[in-house]
Amino acid sequence: MVFENPVVKELVEKTRVLWAIGHALGLMSWDTETYMPKEGSMERGIASGELSVLRQKILLSPEIQSLLEKAEKQEDLNDYERGVIRVLKRATRIAKALPPKLVYELSKTSQEAVVVWREARQKNDYGMFKPYLEKIVKLNREAADYLGYEEHPYDALLDLYEEGLKASDMERVFSTIEPGIRRVLEKVLSSGAYPSEHELEKVEYSRDAMEKVNLEILKMFEFPLGTRSRIDVSAHPFTQHMGIKDVRVTTRYEGVDFKRTMYSVIHEYGHALYELQIDERLIATPLAGGVSLGVHESQSRFWENIVGRSMSFVKTVYPILVKYLDFVRKYSVEDIYMYFNTVKPSLIRVGADEVTYNLHIVLRFKLEKDMITGDIRVDELPEIWSDEMDRLLGIRPKNYSEGVLQDIHWSMCMIGYFPSYTLGNVLSTQIRHHILNDIPDFYQKIENREFHVIREYLREKIHKWGSTYEPKELIRRAFGETVEPKYFIEYLEYKYLGFKI
Ligand code: MG
């Protein structure tokens, strides 16, 4: 048994309703992004807001709080039991800090703003989204003040997505990887070792054919489609877990440049696998979920980049591509590898290559940090965005849709989320370093389609624990060290300046 202490057992039972509300909210959020009729957004907003407040009320009820206090005083607890207490204490701290009215406003605003954002992006109309973003920044600033912080109000928001993360931590990570990225980028662009574009980027595909490619890749990974998962279409690909046995992914089909939808599927597969491989004994408990966004993103990036963009994977996926996409036949494996690994400063974060991607996060990190303090106003955001893009990548967006309106996050009231992407990227390369030590024929396993070996490794090191350990502790236990940005640059240098892997 994972939970033996009677007080903790009771706590887990009494908090199951919180898990149930999370389950319902997850399903509602998935529906909002996929099949909800447009005019359902207002009522969906009210319902989600009410459920969020209810969840907060139940967590803070005297019954649960006194049980939690009692549980804290228990001795000889195992790691799972301590994990339950840690997760609930953290949720309590956040719930106590945020007034119910603010929680309700955040939830309601995001439900409405997502729908407006989608239309604004389509119409390239920043003015339409602007009042929502102003409100979202204001609500987030209020939240930061209620939550409290030592160094910077942005720290309070970062912590919501990554336990204990501070702006100063990210500045340290960026100061390590930024010079490395610039060095690699400059050399790759001047040497031409990797192309900056490929003619396949302009080739149109049939959606039917591409759906089959995506399904066959998921089948190759033994993804439990139909039994514990499904794949749908949404404006912005995402993964939503309702539980350990119901984890859903989405993708989008743009009709051109097939690697985009393919890699979004592999990316979301990585997220989904994390949830699917959590120890089933943790079902419907406070530990039944990935521990943080950074660790989550490390899993999606590991599959997308470390596995998916390797030469070994290209060899593996090539027969699938040739089977469904006629136009692929005239390209060799080496050609396809180059198409999958073009390096070019670009405007859209989700389409960015491994080398330039984190520069997009540098930009968002700076803008979010300054919006929260009021140093940047929402109405001057598009211009500052363009200037920063120019400074970092030497290019400027021609419209709002490929600039400030490209991401869904702000419309969902999420400010402080983006840095977890960089943490994830760094961590994915750290996992690569360790998996190569532990499984030296890692790349051969990919060529042999022995993905279960990789899945098992990730399950044992990371997935099965759910939220048992806080992120830093999880990484320390798995790899005997903390998050280490040097592996990211080592990987880039090895792949882009040394050997094509
Ligand atoms: Mg992701």
Task: Tokens for 342, please give them.
Answer: 């073009």
Q: Which residue do the tokens 């009677």 mark?
A: 6
Residue 501 CA, chain-centre distance (Å), reads 24
CA 230 to chain centre: 18
Residue 236: its pLDDT value, please?
86
What's the pLDDT score for residue 53? 86
290 vs 468: CA distance, rounded Å: 9
**Distance of alpha carbon 210 from alpha carbon 263, whole angstroms:** 12
How far apart are the CA of 60 and the centre of ligand 1, in A?
31
Q: Ligand 1 centroid to 268 CA: how many Å?
A: 6
Q: What is the pLDDT of residues 352-398, one digit of tens each?
A: 999 999 999 999 999 999 999 999 999 999 999 999 999 999 999 99
Q: Which amino acid is at 43?
A: E
75: annotated active-site residue: no
Q: What is the average pLDDT across 451-457?
A: 98
What one-letter code names the amino acid at 73? K
Q: Which residues, including other chains, have CB under 8 Å from residue 348's CB and lie 6 or more apart? A: 402, 406
Opening angle at CA 259, ends 254 and 263, nearest 5: 100
Quick check: 50 and 100 in contact, CB under 8 A? no
Distance CA 260, CA 267 (A): 10
The stretch 173-180 carries a mean pLDDT of: 92
Contact 418, 371 (CB under 8 A): no
Q: What percent of the chain has pLDDT over 70?
A: 100
Considering the chain, what is the average pLDDT of its residues? 95
Q: For the chain, what are the domain ranges?
A: 6-131
Which residue out of 268, 275, 304, 368 is catalytically annotated? 268
The Cα–Cα gap between 27 and 39 comes to 18
267 CA from centroid of ligand 1 (Å): 7
Q: Is the pTM of this model over 0.85?
A: yes
Ligand 1 geometric centre to CA of 47 (Å): 26
Instruction: For 149, list phi and psi in degrees, rounded to 5.
Output: -160, 160
Tokens encoding 81:
């039991």
pLDDT digits (tens, 9 = 90+) for 25-55: 999 999 999 999 989 988 998 898 899 889 9
Q: Which residue has the tokens 């984190």?
A: 358
Q: Which chain residues have CB less than 5 Å from ligand 1, an ion? A: 300
The upper half-sphere exposure of residue 195, i.e. CA atoms within 13 Å in the direction of its Cβ, equals 12
Residue 319, classed as helix, strand or coil, is helix
